[in-house]
RNA sequence: CCGCCCUUAGCUCAGCCUGGUAGAGCAGUCGACUGUAGAUCGACUUGUCCCCCGUUCAAUUCGGGGAGGGCGGACCA
């Protein structure tokens, strides 16, 4: 497994915010970057049996933050998963353990990562009363809007309204300075920033990672339910097949669809957000017929070559599949041995 | 609590009035064409017709009940 290798010449602020879609606020992030030691960053995940690229994208950021001196907390949000209808409590608890193992296999240092099960503290009387206090401060429609990107299209339940408020409280109870999440978390985090002062708690700084576009269309975000997604249980052949099918015009900025929907290039996104943060060098194997192998030390160089036509998408895809497979292989081994 | 509308393929829906177990678009799969994918052609696949009871030779279709969803009203001295 390659260690994360950050480009030289970047200051702490640049490294902390690298590949972020958004930071709230910039000033707060700069303050954290000035004195990162002992500061705490966290991400909460609903336990699921198998990590997918979305989990790994935020995990990349956690690994980088560890290297910057942050204390990293991973919340295995079993109660949240239960509130979001992900199964019985016993089932969810079981998957939490496996998820933790996969994060470690992926590269989170077990000695420097605090894994916390939500139910360890979220059912305490003090927590529940604080939660009710936040409920008093929050309109139903605000809570519902915060959850819109998280809870599918199913009818909103009372559980869904409570869910984001618990996320806000978690930030207090886990003593978090920097909340990490995908862009789908932004409304939850904004809600936390708005309402936490009402219980005399300080609002967190937030850093949001981009969402990888749908693999086959480049539209919207990759979902584990709908289209293709890449997960830790994929075999090398599975990954090769999925990457093969990916939408990949020779540009980082594809034209919108006929319906006017914005499109991204998911292959380039995977290079940018998954491959280069973890590999210092990427070798693209290319038949002599087309010019032989290419080597890239940065995402920008690869993007430039794809745009110019020097790098053909089919060759880029081959390298992408190889890299993704290398990233996933340790976790896949972990899953396999669990099944035995 | 009262009333109205909805529930059929993965998705959006048609069909039901005038019973004979079902269709379109999109999606998906495969092929052609591009050194990837997409676009474009060509072919193909898909269903406890929400559940229960009843009428009938026969119910997705008619009747009753139930569940889930949407909307409106009432209550809120």
* CA–CA dist A171, A6 (Å, integer): 28
Residues 46-105 of A with CB under 7 A from strand B: none
Residues 306-325 of A with CB under 7 A from strand B: 312-315, 317
Q: Are A231 and A325 in contact (CB under 8 A)?
A: no
ipTM > 0.90, yes or no = no
Percent of chain A at pLDDT exceeding 90: 64
Closest CA to A265 of A245, A247, A292: A247
pLDDT of residue A5: 47
Shortest-distance nucleotide from A228 CA to C1': B28
* Domains of chain A as residue ranges with CATH: 12-209 (3.40.50.620), 236-339 (1.10.240.10)
Question: What's the Cα-to-Cα distance from A134 to each of A140, A167, A305, A330, rounded to whole Å?
Answer: 12, 11, 51, 41
The dihedral sign for the CA sequence A147, A150, A105, A274: negative
Closest residue (CA to C1') to nucleotide B36 in the complex:
A314
CB of A220 within 7 Å of some strand B atom: no
Nucleotides of B under 7 A from a protein CB: 28-29, 35-38, 68-70
The dihedral sign for the CA sequence A260, A217, A301, A306: negative
Closest CA to A270 of A237, A316, A219: A316
The mean per-residue pLDDT over the stretch A66-70 comes to 90
CB of A163 within 7 Å of some strand B atom: no
Q: Are A170 and A118 in contact (CB under 8 A)?
A: yes
Closest CA to A181 of A172, A196, A173, A171: A171
- Angle at Cα A200 formed by Cα A196 and Cα A204, nearest 5°? 45
Give the lowest-confidence range in A61-75, A80-94, A283-297. A80-94
Report residue A4's pLDDT band, with 50, 70 and 90 as the boundaries: very low
Q: pLDDT tens for residues A13-55?
A: 999 999 999 998 888 989 988 888 889 999 999 998 889 999 9
Residue A7 has pLDDT above 80, yes or no: no
């Amino acid at each position: 497994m390659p260690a994360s290798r950050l480009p030289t010449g970047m200051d702490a602020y640049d490294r902390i915010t690298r590949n972020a879609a958004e930071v709230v606020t910039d000033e707060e992030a700069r303050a954290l970057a000035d004195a990162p030691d002992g500061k705490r960053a966290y991400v909460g995940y609903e336990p699921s049996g198998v990590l997918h690229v979305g989990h790994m994208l935020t995990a990349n950021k956690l690994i980088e933050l560890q290297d910057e001196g942050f204390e990293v907390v991973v919340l295995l949000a079993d109660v949240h998963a239960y509130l979001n209808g992900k199964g019985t409590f016993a089932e969810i608890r079981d998957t939490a353990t496996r998820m933790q193992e996969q994060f470690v296999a992926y590269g989170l240092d077990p000695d420097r990562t605090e894994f916390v099960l939500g139910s360890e503290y979220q059912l305490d009387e003090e927590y529940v009363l604080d939660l009710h206090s936040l409920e008093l401060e929050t309109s139903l429609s605000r809570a519902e809007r915060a959850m819109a990107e998280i809870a599918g299209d199913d009818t909103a339940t009372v559980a869904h309204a409570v869910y984001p408020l618990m996320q806000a409280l978690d930030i207090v109870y886990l003593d978090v300075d920097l909340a990490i999440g995908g862009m789908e978390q932004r409304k939850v985090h904004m809600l936390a920033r708005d309402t936490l002062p009402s219980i005399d708690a300080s609002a967190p700084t937030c850093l949001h990672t981009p969402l990888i576009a749908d693999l086959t269309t480049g539209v919207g975000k990759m979902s584990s339910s709908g289209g293709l997604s890449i997960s830790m249980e994929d075999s090398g052949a599975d990954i090769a097949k999925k990457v093969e099918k990916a939408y990949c015009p020779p540009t980082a900025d594809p034209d919108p669809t006929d319906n006017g929907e914005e499109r991204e290039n998911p292959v380039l996104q995977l290079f940018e957000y998954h491959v280069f943060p973890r590999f210092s060098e990427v070798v693209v194997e290319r038949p002599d017929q087309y010019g032989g192998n290419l080597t890239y030390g940065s995402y920008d160089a690869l993007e430039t070559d794809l745009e110019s036509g020097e790098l053909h998408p089919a060759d880029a895809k081959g390298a992408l599949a190889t890299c993704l497979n290398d990233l996933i292989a340790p976790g896949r081994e972990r899953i396999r041995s669990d099944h035995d």
